[in-house]
A and B are shown apart, each in its own frame.
Chain A
Amino acid sequence: MWRFRQFLSSLMSLTVWSVLFTSQTNVFGYNRAEMISYIFMAAILHGLVLASALYGLAERIYSGDISSLLLKPVSLFSYLAIEEVADKGRNILATLIESGILIALFQPEIVLPSAYTTVVFLLWAAGGVILNFLFSLLFGTLGFWSPDTWGPKFLFFIFLDFSAGKLFPLNILPDWLQSALFLTPFPYLTFMQTQVFLGKVAIDKILIHSSALLLWIVLFYLLNKFLWHWGFKNYAAQGQ
């Protein structure tokens, strides 16, 4: 059902942009082929990067459900990582089927990247997957201290959907808002990947953005390490 919901969301974006391009050849610096490619790529990355099996982790911690995982002869984080990889596999398959249906419906002209940008795109997509995994772990730690995790998660998802650029690319926003967004790690989850795919990132900027992505991964890794360590000190395995 979740995948069907994503399909509807892509359908809406594709329809709105297709209709917009019936009377214009260029909107916000994108031509029709670039924008349609952008929507397709954003949908694929949404399935690959943002879909996660760990969004219920906080409840599993608060309910004491992870106690049984802690007793297993595999580290908790390896177990969670495997769950995540399995979930990604399922989502990628579903995304490919959805994309096939959307391609049949809209018959779009898709922009394809060069070999060099494909490599950068794949590396950044892998970086996005790791960053989202670290985000999910970080949200999971809320479960060490509070049962009320839905509120912050809801706000986070809304922000994630926007910053992932599902309906529109972030670079159509006013400059001040784009600058503010680039002070956060959110554009590195999927947006920058779509930009490199479309060839909209200059070669000299690739190293800067790669470093920024790496920096966010390191920062969130350290933050996770600290919070999980602190959380386990408080963990009393109630309910088990």
Chain B
Amino acid sequence: MNRIQTYWRVWRLTGFNALQVAFVHRGTNIFFLLGKMFRFSISLLFLLLIKQSVSTLGGYSSDEMLVFFLVYQVIDSFSQALFRNVYVFGNQVKNGELDFLLIKPLNPLFRILTDKPDINDLLFLLPTVGVSFYLLSTLTISVTPVSILLFAVLFVNALVIALALHILIVAIAVSIVEIEGLVWLYRDLTSLGRFPVSIYHESIRLVLFFLIPIGLMLTVPAQVLLNLKPSVGIALVFGITGLLLLSSLQFWKYSLKKYTSASS
């Protein structure tokens, strides 16, 4: 328990620092927030226009398509808010700051992943969740208490997948240093999850369900929430998530063994 409190105190402190930085650069942050809201509104507008003209898309009703998008939006914003520090990890390797994190009495991954939580994404979550709840109440979908409960479990599982993928990114970054392209590739792959992964070409679908499991992270929770048959069985989802997390942690350990601290 004491250990958890320590981690919580550290996260609270780094979160407070991030908030202070956000206030110093408030002009820039307002632009970021406006940009995110604009992108969200345009995607919603597109789906609402589709809803007016098309009844089904890839076997899903237009209302269900909206749910897939909202689930993507909430899970993506949440993981972005939590793991934003990954974006600057390349610099931390370059300038030797990683060494300072390695010698601290905390798991280095904790600070590598969660330092500087994204205040914009945290703020953006408020309207996103609000709009999502409002829209969900207006849609013709079948949501039950059981499906909500199972969705909540899969939501946590989605964050574990996001965590595992971010660990993989930082593990690669220890060797190649340049990380920005990799992070943006992850972002673009997740953005494919704005629509159900099951609509893509079979080979892409296989990659997105089993290799880089964006489908398990975004599509399956939405399917479960909608009481639809998930594209991948729930037990298999947990199995793949566990395997992904274990292998990414192993890869991280392997990368650390190869790390030579050349920049310090």
List A149-202 residues whose CB lies under 8 Å from chain B.
Answer: 150-152, 154-155, 157-159, 162, 167-168, 172-173
Contact A155 B185 (CB under 8 A): no
Contact B54 A1 (CB under 8 A): no
| A15: Cβ under 8 A from any B Cβ | yes
Contact among A15, A151, A172 for B199, CB-based, below 8 A: A15
Chain B residues contacting A28 (CB-CB under 8 Å) are 49, 53
Min CB–CB distance B48 → chain A (angstroms) = 10
List A1-51 residues whose CB lies under 8 Å from chain B.
Answer: 1-2, 4-5, 8-9, 11-12, 15-16, 19-20, 22-24, 27-28
Contact A155 B38 (CB under 8 A): yes
Q: Which B residue sits closest to A153, measured CB to CB? A: B31
* In the complex, number of A-B residue pairs with CB atoms less than 8 Å apart: 88
Interface size range on B against A: 35 or more
| B56: Cβ under 8 A from any A Cβ | yes
Chain B residues contacting A167 (CB-CB under 8 Å) are 46
Contact B31 A151 (CB under 8 A): yes
List B22-43 residues whose CB lies under 8 Å from chain A.
Answer: 25, 27-32, 34-36, 38-39, 42
Contact A151 B30 (CB under 8 A): yes
Cα(A8)–Cα(B193), bound, Å? 12
Chain A residues contacting B34 (CB-CB under 8 Å) are 155
Contact B53 A4 (CB under 8 A): no
Contact B56 A23 (CB under 8 A): yes
Residues of B with Cβ closer than 8 Å to A? 25, 27-32, 34-36, 38-39, 42, 45-46, 49-50, 53-58, 181-182, 184-185, 188-189, 191-192, 194-195, 199-201, 204
* 13 pairs of residues in contact across A and B, judged by CB atoms under 8 Å: A5-B188, A12-B191, A12-B194, A15-B195, A15-B201, A16-B57, A19-B58, A20-B57, A27-B53, A151-B28, A151-B30, A159-B35, A162-B39
Residues of A with Cβ closer than 8 Å to B? 1-2, 4-5, 8-9, 11-12, 15-16, 19-20, 22-24, 27-28, 105, 148, 150-152, 154-155, 157-159, 162, 167-168, 172-173
Q: Give 10 A-B pairs besides A5-B184, A28-B49 with Cβ atoms closer than 8 angstroms.
A: A5-B188, A11-B204, A16-B57, A20-B50, A27-B54, A151-B32, A155-B31, A162-B38, A168-B49, A173-B49
